[in-house]
Amino acid sequence: MHFGLTSEQRMIIDATRAFVEAELYPHELAVERSDHLPLELIREIQGKAIAAGLYAANMPEEVGGAGLDTLSWLLYERELGRANYALHWTCVARPSNILLAGTPEQRERYLMPCIRGETWDCLAMTEPGAGSDLRGMKASARQEGGDWVLNGTKHFISHADLAGFTIAFMATGEEDTPRGPKKKITAFFVDKGTKGFTVRDGYRNVSHRGYTNAVLEFDDCRVPAENVLGEAHKGFEVANTWLGATRLQVASTCLGRADRALHLAIAYAAERHQFGQSIGKFQGVSFKLADMAMELKAAELLTWEAAWKCDEGSVTEADMSMAKLKASEVLAMIADEAIQIHGGMGLMDELPLERIWRDARVERIWEGTSEIQRHIISRELLRAQGG
């Protein structure tokens, strides 16, 4: 087993980190304090990201992306994750992989404008009464003539205000299974401006300021049959095939923020003096730093192993869940300990630590809560024993 990085991977790390420090860090405080990311700033940074080859780098080369293997992609995501989430996700956008599941016509209509930076996509799954339990969704679609008619409400839909379209997952019937009836799910492209489709402001979030969420309402919203993504009633198959690696993406951005917080803590412990010596010489601080570094290394190894398995074709759901679970919980621990080492100054917004601490909280909820990740891991363990 080889743990070294290639020269190309090191170049990706260096180029992405340099861009983040030069183009994103200077705007973090303004975005945090205003909870707003101006469109003119988005377009300015977006242009620089495109010129630097960092925009849509998660996409394959045949559609204009960088064609990165999974590990290289996650190293890139880790560097972007160091910055305010709204800045890196919106200004250095990575279109959802699920867009690759579209037909050639759908790719041209929806994927390519996202890759060119002309618009953004968003995914609509979560509902007020159905979060982790997607089978419990109430938003539905029925066939009427050659069209589908959508009704229902979605919420917590990220950056839907900017997106030119959404991929909406709707219940489209039921099927009998050995464990009882289950809902069939279908994914639909719905263009902004379609009659019966409304995007409303969402909720103010303590995490990821400037990164908006919205409430989507569908009221007899009619879309043609060619707007189905994948096959009718096979929305889960599409999601499971194309969205699984998003947990590794979350893990990687968590690693970036955790690494930033750790190095701020190390620097402060070395320079801050109390009782005639640097506070890093006191075991109460130095042991914290040792634990923080050890836990971060463990989370990195879990994530990089899952990335390697992705490229080998042997990754399991449990592999990805372990990475996401460990990285998100390690981020929370490191952010908290970094603030403790800084004392009162750690809570001031002149430093990024209080932001990293706030942002860390949502990572254990979205893309599958920590409890859901533990369920996936334990289920795989038990299935191996016939349980």
Which residues form the catalytic set? 367
Phi, psi of 112, rounded to the nearest 5 degrees: -60, -40
CA angle centred on 123, ends 224 and 54, rounded to 5°: 115
* Beta carbons within 8 Å of 205's beta carbon, 6+ residues apart: 211, 213, 362
DSSP letter assigned to residue 67: -
Cα–Cα nearest to 297, from 266, 262, 332: 262
| Unique residue bearing structure tokens 């990195």 | 300
Rg of the Cα atoms in the chain: 22
DSSP letter assigned to residue 210: T
* Beta carbons within 8 Å of 202's beta carbon, 6+ residues apart: 155, 156, 157, 160, 212, 213, 214, 215
Three-class SS of 145-201: CCEEEEEEEEEEEECCCCCCEEEEEEEEEEEEECCEEEEEEEEEEEECCCCCEEEEE
Contact between 98 and 61 (Cβ < 8 Å)? no
Record the tokens describing residue 271, joined without a space.
């320079």
CA distance 280 to 267: 9
